[in-house]
Chains A and B, each alone.
Chain A
Amino acid sequence: MGLSGEYLGMPVLIDDLDKDNQAFYRYCGQNELRVQECLDCRLKRLPPTSACPFCASERVQWSPVSGRGTVYSYGEVHHAIQGAFRSHVPYHLLLVELDEQKDIPNQYDGLRLQGNLAEVDGSLATSETVKRVGIGTRVKVSFKQMGDQIAMPLWVIDEDSTQPEAPWRYPIE
């Protein structure tokens, strides 16, 4: 069975053959961020892939991660292309580096997940919140349900974490 849902008014359907994405979004549906961990080289990876990008093995387990990380880079969309996002501009496309596996297997590598910045209630961030976030901001994962079984992972500012004095932002506001 495919897993279906809806997000921002857009229909979602994860095909029944797509076991890797089904697993990822099912865990999200249980408010858990889990990633594939290779049973041969023990490296974790994102997003879900059919084999290990580091050793080509298909042997895998889904391991929980803390869901905490740092904004590694970002884009701030002011001109939305999709109708579902037009009422949310400006919105953040965050590239978040998880605390796990930083600089592994090589320097500058990391376990990174793209996602939108959100408010604690799971709605996309307001323009005021968007302005608070830049490279270096500490964030944590949050989930917005997309139906009974799956959820979209989103990022919220991690108020419990020590934040940089001023995260790096594009110099023109």
Chain B
Amino acid sequence: MVQEINSSTEKYLRGKYSIVGVGETGYTRGSGVTTRVLGTRAVRAAVEDSGLAMSDVDGMLSYSFNDSTPSPTIAGDLGMRLNFHMDVYGGGSSIEALVGIAIGVIEAGMCKTVVIYRAMNGFSQVRIGGTGRGGQSSISGDGLFTRGIGLMSAGQMFCHTFMRHMYDYGTTPEQVASVKSIHSEHASNNPKAFYKNRVSVDDVLASRMIVKPLHLLDCCVETDNGTAIVVTSTDRAKDCKHVPAVIQAVVGRCMKPRSDMHYQSGPISTVAGHYAKDLLWPNAGVGPEDIDVTGSYDAFTFTTMLQLEDYGFCKKGEGGDYVSSGVIRLGGERPNNTSGGHLCEGYTHGINMVIENVRQLRHDVDDYCPRDANGVVQHSYDYSEGGCRQVKDVELTANLGWGTPGMGSAMVMARGT
């Protein structure tokens, strides 16, 4: 049943808000510090990057799986008095949704500038899927449908969608593995990336099986990190240090029917982007063909492919061709996850792909290219290992956030002036 979607974002908000600051700690396995420290460092870095004073930032948002430190603590540590804050539950697909919420609360006059962060020891403290934990408590009624059948991790939850896509459309393991291979090329030009080594399609297929159809290297790398972005009005962005990344449209946690049990509602090889695209593109006033760089959430190789396909970057069913054709590679027509993404840079539940696209839009990606006397990066556009990862003349980016096959978020940003 296709619903008529009445877009609620009035077009005049297009371009009215911008991301003006980005910041992160390193991406490590073993940060050696609390999420409180990670959050504090990321927020400070993002605010400093924007050029605003700490006292200019009066709103704060965060997201977590109850595995982090909440806003009042981070704000307190940095001496920030907030007019608005909120800490929401959730991981993937949160960041684009929170940008929309930030726009809403600023528009409502509740505050002027919002910093959004994610602070997690995703490797050394709380691993997604509850690896090694939760074995002792009783299984509940609902839990019998998950823990009771050995279904806990994200890969185990999503495998039906991935496998069915291969069955429905003839997608091959080699096509999907090329996502990891290409993202690893991008990461080899990213000094921050946790995995900087380039891997081949054969390396992915030779890595051990986790849950079919996912090999180890089809899965992202769990890391410890703090990450943050600053959202304010495009007017106010004029006072900031960098060229703003101007928000054209956001979609937040858009759902398929029966998002609770998405596999009850078909076709299961279609994901929430199928619905989200009808909000995203009309609100942004552009289409997939206009986008220069994508940030398609790569919790798994498959999630990147499924979203690119359902947002219309290729025809339905042709995602395997699209991701293996070279289009998504640096130097290709529309590179994806130029930082290496979750598969290689580090796992943040989406925010590092937004940070990367903000830097792409500034034409100021932190690669291995030299800086001139004024601190401006001299990009070579030579994408060989240990080189450049700035895409030439980026004007428009799209972030496609994944929560589950049944839930996703998205954002289009444009280079400001």
Interface residues of A, Cβ cutoff 8 Å to B: 4, 7, 10-15, 18, 20-22, 24-25, 45-49, 53, 72-85, 88, 91, 93, 95, 105-112, 114-116, 135, 152, 168, 170-172
Decide if the interface of chain A is mainly helix, strand, loop or mixed. mixed
A73-B210 in contact (CB<8A)? no
Is residue B160 contacting chain A, with contact meaning CB distance below 8 A? yes
Interface residues of B, Cβ cutoff 8 Å to A: 1, 129-132, 135, 137-142, 144-145, 147-153, 155-156, 159-164, 166-167, 172-173, 205, 208-213, 257-258, 260-261, 263-268
In the complex, how many angstroms separate the beta carbon of A10 from the nearest chain B beta carbon? Answer: 6
Which chain A residue has the least Cβ–Cβ distance from B129? A81
Supply 30 A–B pairs (Cβ within 8 Å), ascending by A.
Answer: A4-B138, A10-B148, A12-B138, A22-B141, A25-B141, A53-B257, A72-B263, A73-B159, A73-B268, A75-B159, A75-B163, A76-B209, A76-B211, A77-B212, A78-B210, A79-B209, A80-B150, A83-B135, A84-B135, A93-B149, A93-B159, A95-B160, A108-B265, A108-B268, A109-B264, A116-B150, A135-B163, A135-B167, A170-B163, A170-B213
A152-B148 in contact (CB<8A)? yes
| Interfacial chain A residues near B153, Cβ < 8 Å | 81
A115-B167 in contact (CB<8A)? no
B267-A108 in contact (CB<8A)? yes
A73-B164 in contact (CB<8A)? yes
| Interfacial chain B residues near A73, Cβ < 8 Å | 159-161, 163-164, 167, 263, 268
B212-A76 in contact (CB<8A)? yes
Contacts A14-B140, A46-B261, A81-B130 known; list 9 others, CB within 8 Å.
A14-B144, A47-B145, A53-B257, A77-B150, A77-B210, A83-B135, A95-B263, A114-B160, A171-B173
In the complex, how many angstroms separate the beta carbon of A4 from the nearest chain B beta carbon? Answer: 8
In the complex, how many angstroms separate the beta carbon of B132 from the nearest chain A beta carbon? Answer: 8
B210-A79 in contact (CB<8A)? yes
| Interfacial chain A residues near B132, Cβ < 8 Å | 81
| Interfacial chain B residues near A172, Cβ < 8 Å | 173, 205
